[in-house]
Amino acid sequence: MKNKSYLILIFIFLSIIITAVPAFAHKVNIFACVEGNEVYTESYFNDGKKCIHSKIEVFNDKEIKLTEGLTDDKGIFIFNTPESTYLKIVLTASAGHRAEYILELGDSGEDLLDSEIETKEIIPEEILNENIAFYISKNEISLLINEALDKKLTPILREIKKSQEDDISFSEIIGGIGYIFGIFGIIAYFLSRKK
Amino acid sequence: MHISEGILSAPVLVVEAGLTAAAVSYAIKKMDYKQMSKVAILSSTFFVASFIHIPIGLSSVHLILNGIIGILLGWSAFPAILVALTFQAVLFQFGGLTSLGVNTFNMAFPAIISFYLFHRGIKGKNHLKALIFAFACGFLAVMFSAVLTAMALSFTGEVFIKIAKLILVTHLPVMFVEGILTSFCIGFLRKVRPEIFEI
């Protein structure tokens, strides 16, 4: 009986340690993308919590501050695209957490990482009156679709890449502990058979 | 203090892996299957403790707990730490699989050394002396681990004195925290379940 009670005590001790773990896995992220002539930024902690009322500063490549502000209740901060091709967006959240996001813009303010849209050739008047579909080959359609998808997916892909941070979940830890008990249980079984 | 893949040179990895293999096989021969629940719990504690980060300056360090693991397990600390490190490497990519031997030796060898140095004092009659020995055990086990890690890194080209100083300084808070933690745990176990110290 005493065996069980001390095992339970140690297990409670362990569970207390485990619940303390998520608080220490802190890291902040900021994500930014261009929408029209505004820059949309979103700031959040590694565990998904939003950074509320945190300071955002925007610098150019010469470290001159272009603009600054605070994130709103959803961690979002939007500002008009400044006159610079290089934007360093710095987030300062509580207790010394800091994150940066670099945006490199083209001349007309669009995000350079998005693929360029090719200029379409001008279709003459006579053809415009007929069914245009005959004059757009399958290749052109797939090209257009690919370009549109690239433009939409690039910010999402970047977001996915960034969100593959080391986020240690409670269930993974419990799984690891289960594996450990399993391994030692097997070892115990074989050792007991030897006797 | 987990060394990741691709940092250490092959001779260091092979030598320490060999030492770890020898120690683990010796420990398993000596192991009593009745002790297995203790070994498993302490292995899980080590597993979880590595995720408790203490932010120091620009980086962060984590708890090791090899002091108390050494006192309670003796030689079984080697398989306990090996199993925990294996699952950390496999599930969380924390540390590495090629550096498994190195990491195990660096953390388990100080554990067994602490056992031989301090276990008589900790099991003795004087409670205050046991607490002081427990603090020293937790403190020195981390320090010795830091020195072994610095040695392993120095054989791969780092300058030993510089890297040793860096690791020791950043782990100083860990040493104090673990000393206090070991002291509390040993004090508690002496009162509640002194039989746990029998190996």
Torsion (CA) B145, A17, B36, B85 in degrees, nearest 10: -40
Range 73-92 of B in CB contact (< 8 A) with A: 79, 83-84, 87-88, 91-92
Instruction: Indicate whether A25 pLDDT > 50.
Output: no
Lowest mean pLDDT among A81-90, A121-130, A155-164, B188-197: A121-130
Q: How close B161 comes to chain A (CA, Å)?
A: 30
Average pLDDT of the residues in A94-106: 73
The residue among B183, B189, B70, B52 whose CA lies nearest residue A7 is B189
Instruction: Indicate whether A81 pLDDT > 50.
Output: yes
Quick: pLDDT tens for B56-113. Answer: 766 678 899 999 999 999 999 999 999 999 999 888 888 888 999 999 999 999 999 9
**Residue indicated by tokens 């065996």:** A3
Instruction: Indicate whether B122 pLDDT > 50.
Output: yes
pLDDT of A47 reads: 61
Contacts of B87 in chain A (CB under 8 A): 176, 179-180
Instruction: Indicate whether B137 pLDDT > 70.
Output: yes
Average pLDDT of the residues in A131-140: 67
Compute the distance between CA of residue A184 and CA of residue B37 in angstroms, rounded to an integer. Answer: 8
pLDDT of A151 reads: 82
For chain B, give every domain's residue range.
10-197
Instruction: Indicate whether A115 pLDDT > 50.
Output: no
Interface A–B counts its CB contacts (< 8 A) at: 85
Q: Taking CB atoms and an 8 Å limit, are B43 and A187 in contact across chains?
A: no
Q: Encoding tokens for residue A52?
A: 């509320």
Average pLDDT of the residues in A80-108: 77
Q: Encoding tokens for residue B22?
A: 């020898």
Contacts of B48 in chain A (CB under 8 A): 14, 17-18, 21, 173, 177
Domains assigned to chain A: 2-194 (2.60.40.10)
pLDDT of B80 reads: 95
Q: Encoding tokens for residue B182?
A: 């070991």
Average pLDDT of chain B?
90
Q: Encoding tokens for residue B18?
A: 């060999």
pTM, 2 dp = 0.62
pLDDT of A74 reads: 86
pLDDT of A111 reads: 57
Radius of gyration, CA atoms only, chain A: 27
Q: How close A193 comes to chain B (CA, Å)?
A: 9
Identify from B36, B56, B185 which residue to disrupt to test chain A contact, counting A C-beta atoms within 10 A and taking the largest count.
B36
Range 90-129 of B in CB contact (< 8 A) with A: 91-93
Quick: pLDDT tens for B34-65. Answer: 888 999 999 999 999 988 877 776 667 889 99
Class of the domain covering B10-197 = mainly alpha
Q: Give percent above pLDDT 90 in chain B.
A: 58
pLDDT of A17 reads: 58
Closest CB to A18 among B48, B192, B193? B48
Quick: pLDDT tens for A44-57. Answer: 876 667 788 888 99
A188 to chain B: closest CA residue: B33
Average pLDDT of chain A?
74
